[in-house]
Amino acid sequence: MTEPLTPTLRSTMKLLALLLTGAAAFAPAVKPLAARTVSQKMMPEALDVVSQMPSQLLSLEVTEAAFMAVVLGTFVPCVFLITLYIQSEAALLGERVDERV
């Protein structure tokens, strides 16, 4: 009989899963070796290192998940900070009004 997971272990497992899936958002989408169109017989025997490097077009590709991670990572903290500023200014204004009365 298995024991139920403790809340600490459950949250640790969720964090680990989140980190692993978040890292996949920034990995380039590469076809498996078997699915590539160029076979090994078509390739020359010796290739120089420069021809094996990714091209500039490949390095500029952005996955949708990575794009959304950047957008949300920018806008969510900004909205939070703006909301925090508005609330703190409203609280200070309320204190100033109470002092006048």
Given a contact cutoff of 8 angstroms between Cβ atoms, the answer to whether 22 and 14 are in contact is no
pLDDT(81) > 70 = yes
Whether residue 30 is predicted with pLDDT greater than 90 in this model: the reply is no
Q: Quote the pLDDT of residue 82.
A: 97
Determine the Cα–Cα distance for residues 34 and 42; give it in Å rounded to an integer: 14
DSSP 8-state class, residue 54: P
Give the whole-angstrom CA distance, residue 82 versus residue 91.
14
Instruction: List Cα–Cα distances, 19 to 29, 39, 62, 91, in angstroms.
Output: 18, 35, 19, 37
Enter the DSSP assignment of 41.
Answer: T
Helices (H), 1-63: 7-25, 49-52, 56-59
* Arithmetic mean of pLDDT, 28-39: 59
**Predicted model pTM:** 0.41
- Alpha carbon distance 59, 62 (integer Å): 8
